[in-house]
Amino acid sequence: LFRETLSKRGVRVITGLGKYFRQMDKNRNGFLSKAALKEALKVFHLEVPEGDFESLWLILDDSKNDKVDYGEFTRAIFGEMNEYRKTFVRKAYMKLDFNKTGSVPMVDVRKCYCAK
C-alpha cells in the first residue's frame, strides 16, 4: 500500500525525499532513525497510519538495529533495476571511470556531467 501511494506521487516527490534524507543524515552514514523516517514522510505529506508505519518499519529495519539504510529503503520502494537500466548505468560508469580504478572522483563526474 505504501509503495502504491509513493509511486502515485511521482518522481519529483521521490527524488525530493531522497535529497531530504541526505540532508537529515548529518553524519553521512546512510542510515535513518525511526523518528527521522517518520518526520520525512510527514514533510512530504506521505503520512501513514501508526499501525501501517510500524509494519513498514519492521520490513525496512530487517537487521533490527533501529535504523534503516537509505539504499534499502529506495530498493524496497522501487525494486531492483531492470537489465536495460543496469546495462545503461554500467556503460555510463565505464565512461566516467576512464582510468579503470573502480571509483570515480567528483572532479571527473563534473567534467562529464552537467545537471542543468
Q: What is the CATH number of the domain that holds 19?
A: 1.10.238.10
The residue range of the domain holding 87 is 83-112
Confidence check: pLDDT of 111 > 60: yes
Which triple of cell numbers denotes residue 108? 571527473
Q: Is the dihedral of CA 91, 92, 95, 96 positive or negative?
A: negative
45 and 94 housed in the same domain: no
Confidence check: pLDDT of 14 > 80: no
Contact criterion met (CB below 8 Å) for 34 and 66: yes
What whole-number distance in Å separates Cα of residue 57 and Cα of residue 64?
A: 10
Number of domains in the chain: 2
7 and 63 housed in the same domain: yes
Which triple of cell numbers denotes residue 62? 530487517
- What pLDDT is stored for residue 55 in this prediction? 87
3-class secondary-structure state, position 69: strand
pLDDT tens column, 37-92: 888 888 888 778 888 888 888 888 877 888 888 777 777 766 777 899 889 989 98
53 and 4 housed in the same domain: yes
